Amino acid sequence: MQAALMRTRIAIVGAGPAGLMLAHLLYLRGIDAVVLERRSQEYVERRVRAGVLEHPTVELLREAGVADRLDREGMPHHGLSLRFDGEDHRIALADLTGRSITVYGQQEVVKDLIAARRKTGEPLHFEVSDVAIDVDAPAVTFTDAEGKPQRLDCDFVVGCDGSHGVSRASMPAATYAHEYPFAWLGVLAKAPPSHSELIYTYHERGFALHSMRSPEITRLYLQVPPDERLDDWSDGRIWDELGRRLAASGFTLSTGPILEKSITTMRSVVTEPMRHGRLFLAGDAAHIVPPTGAKGMNLAIADVRVLAEALERYFASGSTDLLDAYSDTCLRRVWRAEHFSWWMTSMLHQAPDADAFQRRLQLSQLRYVATSTAAATSLAENYVGL
């Protein structure tokens, strides 16, 4: 069957936060785009991922007119706690930086952006398959949800389809990667948060994190070995281990039915450059960070903000200066986030081969951050977003 021909300025592969946000920013600038996604809309909207939005991310969502529900339901946080030696040590984000973070699930951002896209009536195709990128044309070929072959000619292709997507595979670039010797067992529980803020916990049994998604839903994590089996973790065992690691004076862990649980391995990956000809990468297609620093979705949003401005300049004046600078501009932020995430991860997790000397170094670093205004400010300004 001969492919049907379509034409757009920007072909966007992937309907995660990066792809959907870019499409919306381009729409606001009068630049047409088509978004292609291999998963169903239901799957994309239910996919539980990150939940911490940096200050610049929240500001951009507001500027773009897609923050109404975020402002109603998001949970602003002006600080976080480092918990070690059985005590909390608060990092006063707002006092130290004048900015804060907001807890609002990535899937909620995705829902809001899909709703905005549907409202505009601009093309958004789910359940496509056989996606292939012709970088030289440029063009994207795919099979639509009805099984019909399609060819989408365009001026530029933007790959927002993750580290295992077709976009990254179409990019002849260098990859820098680091594997961490542990994973996170994450649970979503129907239980009210046990604390008003996020708690990053250093414990001899391994790292633990207390977070939340709403006043009724808690998000919690445990450090586990990367080859751990989810079947070995009953709900009772999860709550028992969380209770041990999160124990502190005056703290009571709220428990309830576990709605979801998963194990996620931890790695750092950076692709350089983030551009090849008329193909650009954004978000997880270009870089992966361990979740400790809460940077993944925020980096994706930062990428497409830079790219939207560059594309606007190009179509308005023909100037390629911002497009040519895109990779270098984004990578400066990416490597800062990679270092911060590595630093947070190294400070808080128990490496399997760590000896007593290394553990004492970790505690020394934690105590320094907790008692030094300069060290706390460095953590805070990286955490709320540069």
Report, as residue numbers or ranges, the catalytic residues.
77, 200, 291, 295, 383
DSSP state of 265: E
Largest alpha-carbon pair distance within the chain?
69
Tokens 């939005």 locate to 53
CA proximity to 173, closest of 307, 287, 265, 323: 287
CA proximity to 49, closest of 340, 382, 349, 297: 297
Tokens 């990428």 locate to 303
Count Cα neighbours of 331 within 13 Å in the Cβ-side half-sphere: 18
Distances (CA, A) of 351 to 27, 205, 268: 46, 11, 16
Buried b or exposed e, range 56-87, using 16+ CB within 10 angstroms: bbbebbeebebbeebeeebbebbbbbbbbeee
Phi-psi region of 235 (alpha: psi -120 to 50; beta: other; left: phi over 0): alpha
Spatial neighbors of 359 by CB under 8 A, at least 6 apart, are 204, 350
DSSP state of 349: S
Count Cα neighbours of 179 within 13 Å in the Cβ-side half-sphere: 5
- One-letter amino acid identity for 114? I
What are 338's two structure tokens? Answer: 């990679």
Q: Is 359 exposed, middle or buried (0-12, 13-18, 19+ CB in 10 A)?
A: middle
Q: Give the other-Cβ count within 10 Å of 4's Cβ.
A: 11
Distance CA 152, CA 140 (A): 5
Contact 51, 211 (CB under 8 A): yes
